[in-house]
Amino acid sequence: MEYAWVEKAWEKIVVKIEKTSQSIGAAFPNGTENGRFVTTPAHDWVAGFWPGLLWLVYGETKNERLKALAVACEAQISHTLWEYDHLHHDVGFMFELSSIKQYEFLADDAAKRHALITANLLAGRFNPVGSFIRAWPNWGDEDHSGWAIIDCMMNLPLLYWASNVIADPRYRHIAELHADMVLKEFIQEDGSVHHIVAFDPETGARLGALPGQGYASDSAWSRGAAWAIYGFALSYKYTGKDKYLAAAKRVAQFFLDHLPADKVPYWDFRLPEQSHDAPRDSAAAAIAASGLLEIASVVEHDEELFYKRAAAEILLSLFHNYADWKDDSEGLLLHGTGYFMKEIFVDASLIYGDYYFVEALLKLKCQ
Ligand code: GLY
């Protein structure tokens, strides 16, 4: 497959991010309404994606204005450590893409400390009797003390990172215990995954799967599958354990086998009637593509070509059919689905779709 189009896509992305950074500033975009991003507080799970995007573009352009905005975002995100009751397991997404990136680019020791403190918060969410990292605090009357969710696979790298940085395996042990629980409790026979599994927090007994952001408890939320592909590939990268790579490949096969012709999934792979006008989730496609490239980076030649080609086909379709280069819109990818059942950001641009689209294209560009 020829990848010349990637350079063209990259040039357009740089122009667009340099422009939208002027309207977005040091804030936290989530999804779009009428082409403009709705912003969210710095403790929201999506807060890391905008500084993460700024660092991706800064890494290639050295545009100092983008760097300054990313640094200003990190100051706000790290302040949320003092808003402990708002925090959740997605501190992984938040701090990996802000504090850890700032430490890597600028050797900023304060940012490194913020991420290390956060790794302790994430490790503190571990429930040893159920072997799971608790996802969320309670919301109103909804008791989440026994809930684990598939997205958490993407937060485990914060724990692997902390173990490497302080040369202490405790955080890695917790990450692996959680990943092993996900292998056992979340992945279904056919390679599809549950979004939420509930446990009794006192005994660790499995109570059952919940629909979460999917259509039903036994459906197959496409973004959940994308998080699993990428998350297991990362657990393999940090541990070298084959069982994680095997899981990433198994879910990837399910994902690829269920894609429609244009390679961008419907928001759930198991809707009661797979109607051709069900909304797509371009974010799931972008996340999966970046995860497939992660798999490609750790396997041997023939397999490497298979995963790279699969990722490139998805990205090419996103570039041709889903990218939004209009002057008056802020998002990069159209047709993402945030939370269909609650009608939140349906057929919208999503900052995490944009982030992983750019990250995956950059992986292809720099190969
Ligand atoms: N809950 C994270 C997501 O929407 O993917």
The string of pLDDT tens digits covering residues 226-245 is 999 999 999 999 999 999 99
Q: Which two tokens stand for residue 146?
A: 């026994």
* Ligand 1 atom 1: residue of nearest CA: 151
* Ligand 1 atom 2: residue of nearest CA: 151
Closest ligand 1 atom to 149 CA: 1
As a 3-state breakdown, the chain gives helix, strand, coil percent values, each rounded to 5, of 55, 10, 30
pLDDT value of position 274: 66
Is residue 90 part of the annotated active site? The answer reads yes
pLDDT band at 30 (very low <50, low <70, confident <90, very high): very high
Mean pLDDT (whole number) for 15-38: 98
pLDDT value of position 98: 98
Place of tokens 């402990």: 84
pLDDT band at 297 (very low <50, low <70, confident <90, very high): very high
Taking the centre of ligand 1 as the mean of its atom positions, its distance from the CA of residue 136, in whole angstroms, is 12
pLDDT value of position 3: 84
Mean pLDDT (whole number) for 309-318: 98
Mean pLDDT (whole number) for 15-36: 98
Closest ligand 1 atom to 223 CA: 5
pLDDT value of position 1: 60
- Per-residue pLDDT reduced to its tens digit, 93-130: 999 999 999 999 999 999 999 999 999 999 999 999 99
pLDDT value of position 18: 98
Percent of the chain with pLDDT strictly greater than 70: 99
pLDDT value of position 211: 97
Could you tell me if the CB of 223 is within 6 A of ligand 1?
yes
User: Is residue 355 pLDDT above 80, yes or no?
Assistant: yes
**Radius of gyration of the chain measured on its C-alpha atoms:** 19
List 44, 85, 90, 108, catalytic entry: 90
Closest ligand 1 atom to 352 CA: 5
- In the DSSP assignment, the letter for residue 187 is B
* Ligand 1 atom 5: residue of nearest CA: 223
Closest ligand 1 atom to 212 CA: 1
List 108, 109, 143, 151, catalytic entry: 151
Q: Which two tokens stand for residue 118?
A: 């956060």
pLDDT value of position 277: 85
Could you tell me if the CB of 213 is within 6 A of ligand 1?
yes
Mean pLDDT (whole number) for 20-47: 98
Separation CA 122–CA 156 (nearest Å): 9
Place of tokens 């972008």: 286
Place of tokens 């422009």: 19
Instruction: Please provide the average confidence, as pLDDT, over all residues in the chain.
Output: 97
Reported as type and span, the H/E element at residue 294 is helix 282-296
- Per-residue pLDDT reduced to its tens digit, 150-205: 999 999 999 999 999 999 999 999 999 999 999 999 999 999 999 999 999 999 99
Q: Which two tokens stand for residue 349?
A: 């641009």
Taking the centre of ligand 1 as the mean of its atom positions, its distance from the CA of residue 64, in whole angstroms, is 31
Q: Which domains does the chain have, with CATH numbers?
A: 4-366 (1.50.10.10)
Mean pLDDT (whole number) for 325-338: 97
If one residue of 223, 268, 343 were mutated to test the ligand 1 pocket, choosing by the most ligand atoms within 8 A of its CB, it would be 223
pLDDT value of position 343: 97
- In the DSSP assignment, the letter for residue 279 is P
* Ligand 1 atom 4: residue of nearest CA: 338
Separation CA 367–CA 358 (nearest Å): 14
Separation CA 44–CA 49 (nearest Å): 11
Percent of the chain with pLDDT strictly greater than 90: 95
If one residue of 46, 94, 149, 213 were mutated to test the ligand 1 pocket, choosing by the most ligand atoms within 8 A of its CB, it would be 213
Contact 350, 30 (CB under 8 A): yes
User: Is residue 273 pLDDT above 90, yes or no?
Assistant: no
